[in-house]
Amino acid sequence: MEQFFATFFTYVQKSPLNMVLLGLAITSGGMLLYPLITRGMRPGAEVGPSEAVMMINRKDAVVLDVRADGEYAGGHITNARHVPEKQIAERMKELEKLKGKPLIVSCASGRRATAVVDTLRKQGFADVVALRGGISAWQQAGMPLEK
């Protein structure tokens, strides 16, 4: 095995192009692994569209849509409660009523939802998850939107 690595590094050092290609291979491999690594480091749990449907049907989960008014009006998950991300803190009393229920937080792509999940967990919400991929993933899965 040592001989393999010695031969490999000798080959790579012979030409600058070989070094560039090795660097590109390492960089592209890192870019492919980055989402997998960071998914495990996110503070809140995530569920996909099919898992969200199961939570809604089996656990009576409530969907909390944190998109802006215009985005919400363009189409939202049926029976979703609309609380824009910027209003979460000021409408916390309204959300306190939902503490006992599972919550699924949705946004356009899933980024805002994970931040809101973290905020809600700090406020004592135990069963709260983000919709992975947001409304975009919901639509790609062929799930209906209500207007």
Question: Which residues have C-beta within 8 Å of that of residue 140, sequence separation ≥ 6?
Answer: 133
* Distance from C-alpha of 116 to C-alpha of 88, rounded to nearest angstrom: 8
Q: Which residue has the higher pLDDT, 133 or 40?
A: 133
Token pair for 60: 């009576």
Predicted pLDDT at 110: 85
Q: Is the pLDDT of residue 43 over 70?
A: no
User: Which entry of 107, 120, 128, 130 is annotated as an active-site residue?
Assistant: 107
Q: Is the pLDDT of residue 32 over 70?
A: yes
Q: Which residue has the higher pLDDT, 43 or 49?
A: 49
DSSP assignments along 121-145, one per residue: HHTT--SEEEETTHHHHHHHTT---
Predicted pLDDT at 52: 94
- Topology given in CATH for the domain delimited by 46-140: Oxidized Rhodanese; domain 1 (3.40.250)
Nearest alpha carbon to residue 131 among 108, 99, 147: 108
* Distance from C-alpha of 39 to C-alpha of 43, rounded to nearest angstrom: 9
For the chain, the domains span 2-41, 46-140
Claim: this prediction has a pTM higher than 0.85: no
Predicted pLDDT at 96: 92
- Categorize the per-residue pLDDT at 5 as very low, low, confident or very high, splitting at 50, 70 and 90: confident
Q: Which residue has the higher pLDDT, 99 or 42?
A: 99
The pLDDT tens digits of the residues spanning 74-132 come to 999 999 999 999 999 999 999 999 998 999 999 999 889 988 998 999 999 989 999 99
Query: What percentage of the chain carries pLDDT values higher than 90?
Result: 64
Known catalytic residue at 142 = no
